[in-house]
Amino acid sequence: MQTGSVVFFDSKGFGFLAPDDGPEELYFHVSALPGERGKRFIAEGQKVRYELGQWRGKTVAKKVTPIEAEEEPTSETQVGNVQGN
């Protein structure tokens, strides 16, 4: 799978993403996002994985999946690690 970042996503159901390894933005449709119909959303700037596909003779992004950011330790976790002897 390829990786990139969402540049634009419209409430009408279409968006564009910038591939990590290419200069040209790719179109994607809300149907390429995981989840139930009517509950699919992705934020601009979100890192994603996707597959390349064809639609009307153009290269588009398919199976667009958000990459979850690694959780950073909270201050509680850090304190617990310091105090837990």
Range list of H helices, 16-68: none
CB burial readout 4-27, b (16+ within 10 A) else e: bebeebeeeeebbbebeeeeeebb
How does the average pLDDT of the chain come out, rounded?
Answer: 82
Ordered structural domains, the chain, with CATH: 2-83 (2.40.50.140)
Pick the residue with more confidence: 83 or 43?
A: 43
Output the pLDDT for position 69: 58
pLDDT tens-place string over residues 55-85: 999 999 999 999 985 434 444 433 333 444 4
